[in-house]
Structure 1
Amino acid sequence: MMSRRSLLTVAVLSPLVAACSRLGALNGINNLTPGDGGVKQLVDGAAFGSDPRQTLEIWAPKGATGKLPVVVFFYGGSWNSGGRDGYGFAAKALAARGFVVVLPDYRLVPQVRWPTFVEDGAAALKWVAANIAKHGGDPGQVAVMGHSAGAHIALLLALDRRWGVADGIKAAVSLAGPADFLPFVAGGAADAAMGNAGDLVQTQPIHFARLDAPPLLLLHGDADTTVLPRNSLRLANAVTDLGGRAEVRLYAGVGHIGILLALSKPFRSKANTLTDSSNFLLKTLTP
């Protein structure tokens, strides 16, 4: 039998989902659910480029002293949708665990195609390197994290040195990240976003597996039919076969969206996404 609190959550959630976007509803319910107190938004809309989509926000624990480790979180959306305004629940969750959290937007298909969204991610990280100390973050302890298409961006930035930021990334966490997904489905989201690449292999994070890669934590639901778990398993094997550090955690019965929802307070029982990622990052980033 559902608890009174659970029934209330469902009762409130149902009309919210019907009335507004899914993520807007999730943020609303997340804000109504107790927990994750003591965080604040430090910046809303700092520009790291000239396009309106090249802006970011920053969250941090209230009253923090000293320089905190930094997590730059890239949301997903098939490279063609999404916005940072829908992901406050993720930023707040990580900030409550002791991080300065940066949440960037980036340009999307069809406005742009490969590799512009990755270049935007790199530009956001360069802004972080130059400015995060002013907001309580340690520029020497920066990690990237992302879900789905955002995880693809995060992994490329961490593994592929051509974007100019890999050496400043100390850890990476991927939630259901596409890492080894050739061939593209004709007319699908990946094809629309990256089918223009002269060498499609260059779009694949696994192609840049290396011994000296930053430590990777690859989280995946075993019920994910959108980005198959083999993406995480193959990337981890590629890195560890070279002598690098990568680990995979598979969550039983969790799908593509469930692994992200588990960052929000109402759905943390779905998977240990928040605990596993924050523990890994604290251990890896803390000098």
Structure 2
Amino acid sequence: MMKTPLLSLLCVLTLMNALPRMSGQGAQAEPITYNTKTNLPYYDDAALKGAAEYQRNQCRMDIYYPGNRTAFPTVIWFHGGGLTGGKRRFPALKNEGCALVAVSYRLSPQGAFPCFLEDAAAATAWVVKNIASLGGDPAKVFISGHSAGGYLAAMVGMDARWLAPYGVSNQQLAGIIPVSAQVTTHFTVKKLRNDTGPQFRPLIDEYAPLYHASKDLPPICLIVGDRRIEFKSRVEENELLAVSLKNLGHSQVEFYEMGGLDHGAVSEGGMIILRKYIKRILGQREKNGASQNAAGEAP
């Protein structure tokens, strides 16, 4: 288990500023410029035929992306709010050489369960299928989010059934990075499924990321705040998921508890780890690809 104490965060942040950006393209004479597309629907006209006005208005996303680079990575970001509130926003990763996708999804009770999971999957599939048209690499798509958004990221990334209707596999994702996510069944989901137990009584059914723990998943990075001041049980649940994944044979799982950060603060503080994690995963992939190519060329 890896933990980042609060006292080291400023040192890490200082070092990060000296690192190359996540685009993996090294130093560039020409500075990176960025474009933004806003309020894009991620359901097509056929899918929205006969849909309620709420779905038409709510199922939108904003995309921030490098305008003069190609093959850049993308971070899909789902906002928090307990699956009942919140608004889409970009994570604190601008000017890092990557694309950011901020997603709105239907909320309860305006939308019927499991609408938010369906929407998260639809938005993810849209990005995988369309980011290349903006210059991005569809093989470098990371799915992330904070709190309830982290729960959605974990569910879509770990349970293959949500992406399957779009002809997309969760194995196509470059990584899953939930930030302070509930990984037992979300407390709002429990209520919607008529569970009458207390909020902090854990339930692990098909709507729990823990239920889908497997060695055959993309790289996973679990980020949480300080267990003394985090959302109750949140750190311990994520720690259990990390241990479970490792015991099942998953070789690319990391867990970080960020000392001194509460449930809200880790939404931004976690970007320190997220940025370095993406860079490291892409670097490992390039290294492995180079090694395979060298082996293939050997006499």
The interval holding the TM-score normalised by the smaller chain is: 0.7 to 0.9
| Matched AA of 1:144 | I
Aligned to 1:147: 146
Residue pairs, 1:51-70, within 5 angstroms: 51-61=56-66, 63-70=67-74
Aligned to 1:159: 158
Matched, 1:240 2:246: yes
| Matched AA of 2:234 | L
Aligned to 1:25: none
Does the 8 A contact of 2:39 with 2:60 survive in 1? yes
Runs of 4+ in structure 1 off by over 3 angstroms are: 37-41, 189-196
Does the 8 A contact of 2:72 with 2:137 survive in 1? yes
Which shows bigger deviation, 37-46 or 216-225?
Answer: 37-46
Does the 8 A contact of 1:41 with 1:57 survive in 2? no
Aligned to 2:262: 255
Does the 8 A contact of 1:176 with 1:229 survive in 2? yes
Residue pairs, 1:103-118, within 5 angstroms: 103-118=102-117
Aligned to 2:42: 48
Does the 8 A contact of 1:226 with 1:256 survive in 2? no
Deviation for aligned residue 1:101: 1.0
Deviation for aligned residue 1:194: 4.6
Aligned to 2:279: 282
Residue pairs, 1:1-287, within 5 angstroms: 40-49=34-43, 50=48, 51-61=56-66, 63-84=67-88, 87-88=89-90, 90=91, 93-163=92-162, 164=164, 165-181=169-185, 184=187, 189-195=188-194, 201-222=205-226, 223-226=229-232, 228-244=234-250, 245-260=252-267, 263=268, 271=269, 273-286=270-283, 287=286
| Matched AA of 1:285 | L
Structure 1: runs of 5 or more not aligned? 1-36, 264-270
TM-score, scaled to structure 2: 0.71
| Matched AA of 2:211 | H
Does the 8 A contact of 2:204 with 2:211 survive in 1? no
Does the 8 A contact of 2:64 with 2:100 survive in 1? yes
Does the 8 A contact of 1:113 with 1:194 survive in 2? no
Alignment CA distance shift 1:200-1:283 (3 Å): closer
Deviation for aligned residue 1:190: 4.0
Measure the CA separation in 1 of the matches of 2:182 and 2:194: 15
Structure 2: runs of 5 or more not aligned? 1-30, 49-55, 196-202, 287-299
Deviation for aligned residue 1:226: 4.5
| Matched AA of 1:236 | A
User: Greater Rg, structure 1 or structure 2?
Assistant: 2
Does the 8 A contact of 2:185 with 2:207 survive in 1? no
Measure the CA separation in 1 of the matches of 2:131 and 2:75: 11
Identity %: 27
SS in 2 for 1:96: coil
Instruction: Count matched residues.
Output: 228
Task: Name whichever structure is richer in helix by fraction.
Answer: 1
SS in 1 for 2:230: coil
Post-superposition Cα deviations, 1:28-86, rounded to whole Å, max 9, x if no partner, equal xxxxxxxxx9664421011112321111110124x5322201111111100001121xx
